[in-house]
Structure 1
Amino acid sequence: MKAVFPGIRQNNFVVIGRVGMDMFPAPGEAVENADNFTADMGGSSANIAAGIVKLGGSAALVTRVSDDAVGRFCVNKLKHYGVETTHVTPVGGEARNSLALYESRVEGHQSVIYRNGAADFEMTQADVEAVDYTRFGALVTAGTVFAAEPSRAASFRAFELARAAGLPVIFDIDYRPYSWPSAQVAETVLSKAGEMSDVIVGNDDEFGFMAGDKSKGLEKARALAATTAAIVVYKMGEHGAITFANGQELRTGIYPVTALKPTGAGDSFMAGMLSSLAAGNGLKTAVLAGSACAAIVVAKPGCAPAMPFPQDLSNFLASHPGPTSAD
């Protein structure tokens, strides 16, 4: 296991994975009844990158976008949020950018994701080999990059190149069943990615999925921390998280809020945790910063636009009575 903190503390990340367009109606309104929608940036990797930049770090995205108005919208939004787009490459033909329609409500919440012929799955090994990994401190990705070829092989190649350059690999499991050909393929591929990663973040369902049984997810997280990963964060929703590192288990609570929607929490958690570690904070402080960022995002419309700036996070922590006690 390598030392991950020096790379993270450079606060300069290369992020692999999709950027998409999000569309959402006014808070509380159902998609089918809406006349007006707000459009902004989405996609797990792009959201993480935007969250890092908003909190004061640097991030470059590596992906493919459709060579059309929607793809250009996504590139413009990345630039708006300060994410480097040098390695965001348009692809023509029938490939299309990811589109998400979702609602800012919890009860009856609907999310409709269009991922047919997704442009980001067209990322190639040549795309990731064009990156100078020595420019960055760490690589970050979310599991959807492994769901289809050629993106799967390209992402594993990026892991190899990053590791060869001395970068820690940070992996958000981010299992989305609709993106995969089968659960069996996903279990095998995501487990391989986990074994190549230095920092792994996922929820109890995702670790359970990797283990083949939800009841075995905690043991899977513990085993990864004991063998190949330096840090493993096992998230349990309202019950907080267990972080495994240096042979120890750290339990932390959450910051309860009145949620406006269930989307964006995981991306914001990752951005908040990494930014806190980059600032030199310890693991407990960093995981709680991630939890606070997640709470901020679920209480606001949108994903990337809801990600906090440092003052937003400071104000939230100063005014919130949490976190809850660890379960």
Structure 2
Amino acid sequence: MSALVEGIKGNRFAVFGRAGMDMFADPIGVKSEDADTFHADLGGSSANICAGLVKLGSRASLVTSVSDDAVGRFCLNRLRHYGVDTSYIRIVGGEFRISLAIYESRVENFQNVIYRNGAVDFQVTEEDMDRIDFSAFSAVISAGTVFAAEPSRSATFRAFDNARAAGLPIIFDIDYRPYSWPSPEVAADVLSRAGEASDLIVGNDEEFGFMAGGIEKGFAKAKELAEKPGRIVIYKMGEKGAVTMMDGHEIHTGIYPVTAVKPNGAGDSFMAGLLASVAAGYSLEEAVMRGSACASIVVSKPGCAPAMPTTPELDAFLADHPGPTK
């Protein structure tokens, strides 16, 4: 068994990245500007991954910083509600703020307004990372957003070094968000560095294309990254499914069609479902399919963290839905 798969099977994850508050308009279909009711819950890509993992029976600790205010405390409370360990979250005072996303449950003309000015999650430091007991974990996960600014960028590369020294595999969700970065050139360079340091890389065709300098070059970039022995690269293509590459092999998988009520949250749920399924003993292909099912479940419900399925819910979905598209 490879060190990567062995680490995932250990099922204890340290996750780097942001938590945030999501506010989504109610009822389904209403635009944010026309809504008079919004539901609030946990958001932020890494926090969503943590919630998804815990709902599927894994253990997850979020490593980030949150603002010393009511919204920061709301996010801490919601993380604890979902069973996510918060012992490595530092509370930061001053004018730094936790992320806020305001969106709606609709696909047509979907709007997601994200507030990231003075983002507190970028204040994670190398000292924060050095306080982590990496021996308590079996693998680490990072979303690409953490690399968009300092000191979080250097801190996360330090965490990668510490994880490597502890023998832990590194799982990387490219998660490219242009609004967080100073320039596309810096993003392409830094995200490529992070990819080279990782053992499992997950991204969509646009993200790999961005790293390669053009969407038409994305698949070649993913294949190039997959040439490292033991590394797994998952190239997602939306409705066209995914290609999983490892040691010269390619696994092509489809999706589970559903009636979507929103487009966001799918990637976070895919990652949680993939890792929890590998940890539960499923083959890599089966785990990719279970991750795809998790993504379908999340886009068919309002919210992100609250829409993440439990294991019984995932199994019930798979039992009720015909086989995936090919």
TM-score normalised by the shorter chain: which range applies? Answer: over 0.9
Matched, 1:255 2:220: no
CA contact (8 A) 1:207 1:214 kept: yes
Deviations 1:11-42 (A, max 9, x none): 11000110000001111111111111100000
Deviations 1:174-229 (A, max 9, x none): 00000000000000000000000000000000000000111110010001010266
Gaps of 5+ in 2: none
Matched, 1:59 2:75: no
Q: Which runs of 4+ in 1 moved over 4 A?
A: none
Structure 2 counterpart of 1:39: 40
CA contact (8 A) 1:53 1:81 kept: yes
Structure 2 counterpart of 1:173: 174
Structure 1 counterpart of 2:102: 101
Aligned amino acid, residue 110 of structure 1: Q
CA–CA distance in structure 1, aligned partners of residues 116 and 42 of structure 2: 15
CA contact (8 A) 1:198 1:228 kept: no
Deviations 1:236-284 (A, max 9, x none): 0000000001210110000010000000000000000000000111111
Matched, 1:25 2:4: no
Change (3 A) 1:212 1:15: same
Structure 1 counterpart of 2:12: 12
CA–CA distance in structure 2, aligned partners of residues 52 and 300 of structure 1: 18
CA–CA distance in structure 1, aligned partners of residues 256 and 300 of structure 2: 11
Number of aligned residues: 324
Relative to the length of structure 1, the TM-score reads 0.98
CA contact (8 A) 1:256 1:322 kept: no
Matched, 1:211 2:223: no
Q: Secondary structure at the match of 1:140?
A: strand
Aligned amino acid, residue 266 of structure 2: A
CA contact (8 A) 1:18 1:46 kept: yes
CA–CA distance in structure 1, aligned partners of residues 136 and 104 of structure 2: 38
Q: Secondary structure at the match of 2:160?
A: helix
CA contact (8 A) 1:64 1:90 kept: yes
CA–CA distance in structure 1, aligned partners of residues 152 and 230 of structure 2: 23
Structure 1 counterpart of 2:187: 186
CA–CA distance in structure 2, aligned partners of residues 204 and 149 of structure 1: 27
Matched, 1:241 2:242: yes
CA–CA distance in structure 1, aligned partners of residues 207 and 146 of structure 2: 15
Cα deviation, residue 86, structure 1: 0.3
CA–CA distance in structure 2, aligned partners of residues 169 and 227 of structure 1: 14
Percent sequence identity over aligned pairs: 65
CA contact (8 A) 2:229 2:247 kept: no
Aligned amino acid, residue 318 of structure 1: A
Aligned amino acid, residue 3 of structure 2: A
CA contact (8 A) 2:169 2:199 kept: yes
Cα deviation, residue 6, structure 1: 0.9
Range moving further from structure 2, 2-11 or 108-117: 2-11
Structure 1 counterpart of 2:325: 324
CA contact (8 A) 1:14 1:136 kept: yes
Gaps of 5+ in 1: none
CA contact (8 A) 2:228 2:247 kept: no
Range moving further from structure 2, 209-218 or 219-228: 219-228
Q: Secondary structure at the match of 1:175?
A: coil
CA–CA distance in structure 1, aligned partners of residues 181 and 82 of structure 2: 29
CA contact (8 A) 2:104 2:110 kept: yes
Structure 2 counterpart of 1:307: 308
Structure 1 counterpart of 2:297: 296
Deviations 1:92-151 (A, max 9, x none): 111000000001000111000000000000010111110000100100010000000000
CA contact (8 A) 2:4 2:230 kept: no
RMSD: 0.8
CA–CA distance in structure 2, aligned partners of residues 167 and 323 of structure 1: 33
Relative to the length of structure 2, the TM-score reads 0.98
Range moving further from structure 2, 42-51 or 219-228: 219-228
Matched, 1:157 2:158: yes
Q: Secondary structure at the match of 1:4?
A: helix
Cα deviation, residue 3, structure 1: 2.3
CA contact (8 A) 1:10 1:278 kept: yes
CA–CA distance in structure 2, aligned partners of residues 51 and 322 of structure 1: 23
